[in-house]
């Protein structure tokens, strides 16, 4: 019996995909998250013909370091598909990588989309997934997936507030009875933070750094509020001196990075405040009791919960696995499809 059970598990190819701006995560029914890779595709261009060279981790290493004949691109921008063909190639690659061989059946795939995605953007995501070999493509709103993944009781008749800070967008949502009461999507996320660090160092230090370095700075010493000693920890970074054009190394401190990130952090705080202002009073009372849950990679920014607490006066907590919340939630929607079918959109 167990052999048949294992076989069925092997051929159950239904999956949930968190198609993120920065990372793509794949959840396979019954197996959990089996893949987490950067959303990057590298092409080799010869005589005007594009050929996929690398996808995911290998392609990310090439970002900003490619010769003329190779192009490394991120097909997702601000949570939606910016480059249709490349996104399709990337989804195909990840589906193949997960199954390692051709399965007997075409999988059913559920993908999460930002709440603010337009019908055209949703159609593009659905079309890409179907072209990549899916039998059916369902869409679920990102805030619902994030809240499910964070273990919030969203089906209860009480207010739950989730703030999902991804690579391209921040989704602020108030949920009750398994659906969205209020949601707002602001196009601020990890990418905007990287850009803020790059432009700050260009202005203040006359140093030009790439996206990879900016991301390393953000994850190593990034913080949402000024360190108590006015300086904080520091790290060495390398870039190009804009005054004389030669490479140079400088030291950056946490205080400088907090100053650089002040604007994107403020935009996230404002989005949360706006959501609280427009929430019906009874649900707002529940949120005072329960607090706000932070999910997404951006929730890992140092002291972001404290910065939000100072602004809102609410209890702010960070989910256990903020990076995986949306993928886990989308996966749970696949596992418990009957209970959550109102949240999954299969047709359009």
To the question of whether residue 215 is assigned a binding role by annotation, the answer is: yes
| Full DSSP string of 254-285 | HHHHHHHTHHHHHHHHHHHHHHHHHS-HHHHH
Q: Which of 27, 32, 29, 72 is nearest to 52 (CA)?
A: 72
Report the 10 Å Cβ neighbour count for 32.
11
To the question of whether residue 16 is assigned a binding role by annotation, the answer is: no
pLDDT per position in the chain (348 positions), as tens? 444 444 444 455 788 888 778 888 888 887 778 888 888 888 888 877 888 888 888 888 887 777 778 888 888 777 677 777 788 788 888 877 887 655 546 788 888 888 877 888 888 888 888 887 778 888 888 888 888 888 888 778 888 888 888 888 888 888 888 778 888 888 888 888 888 989 998 888 888 888 888 888 888 888 888 878 877 788 888 888 888 888 888 888 888 888 888 888 888 888 888 888 888 888 888 888 888 888 888 888 888 888 888 887 888 888 888 888 888 888 888 777 777 677 777 765
Superfamily of chain region 152-188+265-323: ATPase, nucleotide binding domain (3.30.420.40)
Distance CA 27, CA 109 (A): 10
To the question of whether residue 217 is assigned a binding role by annotation, the answer is: yes
To the question of whether residue 271 is assigned a binding role by annotation, the answer is: no
Distance CA 319, CA 34 (A): 20
To the question of whether residue 298 is assigned a binding role by annotation, the answer is: yes
* CA-angle at 284, arms to 163 and 115, nearest 5°: 35
To the question of whether residue 160 is assigned a binding role by annotation, the answer is: no
To the question of whether residue 22 is assigned a binding role by annotation, the answer is: yes
- Joined together, the tokens standing for residue 33 give 């998250």
What CATH number is given for 15-39+74-144+326-345 in this structure?
Answer: 3.30.420.40
To the question of whether residue 23 is assigned a binding role by annotation, the answer is: yes
- Joined together, the tokens standing for residue 223 give 């913080």
Superfamily of chain region 190-261: ATPase, substrate binding domain, subdomain 4 (3.90.640.10)
Distance CA 272, CA 200 (A): 25
């Amino acid at each position: 019996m167990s052999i048949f059970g294992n076989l069925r598990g092997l051929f159950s190819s239904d999956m949930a995909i968190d198609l993120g701006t920065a990372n793509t995560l794949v959840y396979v029914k019954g197996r959990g998250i089996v893949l987490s890779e950067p959303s990057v595709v590298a092409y080799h261009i010869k005589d005007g013909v594009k050929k996929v060279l690398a996808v995911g981790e290998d392609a990310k290493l090439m970002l900003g370091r490619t010769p003329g004949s190779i192009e490394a691109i991120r097909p997702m921008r601000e949570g939606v598909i910016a480059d249709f063909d490349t996104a399709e190639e990337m989804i195909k690659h990840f589906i193949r990588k997960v199954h390692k061989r051709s399965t007997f059946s075409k999988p059913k795939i559920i993908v999460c989309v930002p709440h603010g995605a337009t019908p055209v953007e949703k159609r593009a995501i659905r079309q890409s997934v179907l072209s990549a070999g899916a039998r059916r493509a369902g869409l679920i709103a990102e805030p619902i997936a994030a809240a499910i993944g964070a273990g919030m009781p969203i089906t209860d008749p009480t207010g739950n507030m989730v703030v999902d800070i991804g690579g391209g967008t921040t989704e602020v949502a108030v949920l009750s009875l398994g659906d969205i009461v209020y949601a707002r999507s602001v196009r601020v996320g990890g990418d905007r933070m990287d850009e803020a660090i790059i432009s700050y160092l260009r202005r203040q230090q006359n140093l030009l750094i790439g996206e990879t370095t900016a991301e390393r700075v953000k994850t190593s010493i990034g913080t949402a509020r000024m360190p108590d000693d006015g300086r904080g920890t520091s790290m060495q970074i390398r870039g190009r001196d804009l005054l004389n054009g030669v490479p140079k190394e400088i030291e950056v401190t946490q205080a400088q990075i907090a100053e650089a990130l002040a604007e994107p952090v403020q935009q996230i705080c404002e989005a949360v405040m706006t959501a609280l202002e427009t929430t019906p009073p009874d649900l707002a009372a529940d949120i005072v009791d329960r607090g706000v849950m932070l999910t997404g990679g951006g929730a890992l920014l140092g002291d972001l919960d404290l910065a939000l607490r100072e602004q809102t006066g609410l209890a702010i907590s960070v989910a256990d696995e903020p990076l995986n919340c949306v993928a886990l939630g989308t996966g749970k929607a696949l596992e418990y499809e009957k209970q959550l079918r109102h949240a999954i959109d299969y047709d359009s």
